[in-house]
Structure 1
Amino acid sequence: MTEATDAALAPTPRATISVFLADDNVIVREGVRALLARANDITVVGVADDLDSLISGAVLHTPDVVVSDIRMPPNFQSEGIEGCKEIRKRLPGTGVVILSQFDDPDYAIALLSGGAAGYAYLLKDRIAEGDQLLAAIRSVATGGSMLDPSIVDAMVRPAVRNSGLDPDEERLLEMLAAGRTLKAIALTRQTTAAAVSADVEKLFSRLADSASAGTQGALRRLRMLHEAIVSREEQGESLSRLLPGGVAEQLIAGGKALGESERLDVTVVMSDIRGYTTIAEHADPSSLVRQLNRHRAEMNRAILGCGGTVMQYIGDAVMAVFGAPQASR
C-alpha cells in the first residue's frame, strides 16, 4: 500500500459518515438533505433521482451509506431496494437506509431477506420524529440494522393478539420481526443459538394453534422472515453471494453444476494494509469499520475495473483473481 493510503486509513479524531441520497421527489430529497445537514458527523456527498443515477452516483462517490426512496423511475416498483442491493455487490460494506411511504411488511422482508446487516427500513412520514434517520444512518454505517417500529408492530401485533404470550415470548417475536439473527438473539438472551431456535419453533407452533383467519397473514410474514434468517445462517449466503462475483452468473448462464471444474491460467493477487495492526490498536472501533469499508470499496472498484474477481475479504486483506471465471484473452 502507498503512504497516501496509510494516511487515509490512519485513525482520525472525528470520523464523518458520507451519505449518498436518492429520491425522485425533489422536495423530499432536499428536505432529507436539510435534515442530515444538522448532524455534524454526516455529510451528503451526492444525490440521485432514478435507478441509473442511484447506482452510477454511488459507485462514483463510494459513500459509507446510501439513503434511498423505495420507488423511483423508470418503473416506480422497488428500484430503491434493487439498486441498493446492486450497490452492495459493487461496494461491499456500504450501509443502506430505505425510505418508504409503504408500511407493508412485505417490502421490509424483501429488503432483509438478502441479509440484514447494514440495512434499515424507515417510513418517510416518521423520519423527522426525533433522530430516527440519523440513528439509522449511524447504525448501518457500522454494520447494524434497523426496522421502523411501526413495521415491527405491524408484523407482531396481529400475530400476538389474544395469543396469551408472556412478555419474554413477545420480546422474542419482536426481535425476529426486527430481522435479528439467531446468534444475535442468543447473545441478547445469554443462551445458545440452538436454544433460541428451539424457543422460536415452540413459539410459532403456539401461535399457529391460536391463529385465526385474520392473523394468518401476519404469522406467514413472520415465518417467512425467520426462514430467510435461518437459511442465511445455515447456508452462509445465496449462490450469488456465496461465490465470487461472476462465478454464480457463469454457472447459471452456462448451465453448469456445482462441482464441475475447468482448468484456467490465472493471476492471484493478495493485498493488505501496511501497519493495520498498529492502526487498529489505536483507532475508535466505529471509525475503523468505516475506514475499512472505504478501503474495501476502493479495492473492489480497482479490481473490477481491471477485469478481476474479488474472491474474499479477510480483515484488512483482499484476495483477487484475474483470468477467472472468464479466461483472459
Structure 2
Amino acid sequence: MAATTVLSKRKRAQVSYLDDNDELDELLEIDEPFADVVDDESDDDLSFGSHKDPQAIKKRKAAKRAKKSPSTTKAKKNEKTFPFERLPAELRDQIYELALTDEDGITLVAKTNQYRRTVKRGTITENGGYGRRRRRYWQQPSQSQSQATQPVATRALCPALLAVSKQLHAEGVNYLYQQEIVLEDTYALHSFLATIGSNRSRLTDLTVKTWGSGGTHKAMNFCSFTLLGNCTNLQTLFLDCSIGWQRNPKGLARQLYRDGVYFFEQFGAANGAKDAGVDILELNDTNFDSGRGYWRRRNDPALEKDDFKDQCHAELRKLLAVKPARKARK
C-alpha cells in the first residue's frame, strides 16, 4: 500500500485589523508609526510576496481621518426621519394643499425637454390677432427682484412630495390634479395629457386659452380632444378662445364635433349620457357674437348670445344622436 503524504499547513503571519478603525486607534492610544507598520490588507499568499507601500497607507489613513470627523459622526447618529405619516390627517391635508395647489390655478405652456414634448409652468398674455398668444415662463422670484417686476405666479409647487411613499401619493395626488389647470393652447393640452398618462381620470377643471390654427397646431385640436376622452371625471371644460373664424351656430357645432367626436362619445359612455360632454363644455362669449364674421354678410339674421348658444348645443346634440326631449302635453 502506497504511503500517503500529508501536507503540513503553512504558518501565516497574524494580521491585525485594529488600525482600520481610526476611532479605535485613538481609544487604544496607538501611535501612528506603529499603525503604519501593520499592513492590514496585505496577504503573502495572495499577493505573492509583494508588500504595499507604507507611505501610501499613511496617506490613505490621513484622508480617512479628514473625511470622518467626530462631529460629523455624532450628527449622523443623531439624525432621525421626520414622522410625517404620523401627523393628524387634517394637518397632512393642509400641507398637501400648500405644497400642491395654487389658488390662481396652474398655467402650463408647451416646451421641449431633451427632445421630448412636455409642458412647463408659465404665464400667458394676450398678444393681439386671432389665435395668437405670448408666453412668459414662470420662475420663482429672487430676493433681488422688486414687486413690480415679479411674475404673476408666486407660489412654487412641490410635486416631488408625492414620490416619498405610496401613502403620500395616494393622499395627495388629487390635490395636484383636481384644481384649475390652464393650458396655453391645444398643443400644450396634448403634451400635458400625454405626459400624465393614467392620471387623466383625476382631472376636473381644464381651461384652454387658444384654439390651434394652421399646420401642426390645427391638427392638435383633434389629437388633444381624442386624449381628452380619458378624462372621464371632468366637471368643467372651458374653451376660453375663439373656435376658428366666426360662423353660424350649426357651423360652430360641426367644428366642435369634427375635432371632439371621440371625446364626446367616450365621455358620454362613461357618464351614462351621450350629451354629457356638451353639458360640461363652456365657450368664450366671442363664439356667440353674430354681429361680426363673414357669415353675417350673407343676410343671416342676427341672434342674441343665448339663442346662438342654444342653437349650437342643439345641433351638437343632434350630431351625437341625442333624441330631443319630448314636450310635455298640456
Normalized against structure 1, the TM-score is what? 0.31
Larger Rg: 2
Asked which structure has the greater RCO (Cα within 8 Å, sep 6+), the reply is 1
TM-score (norm 2): 0.30
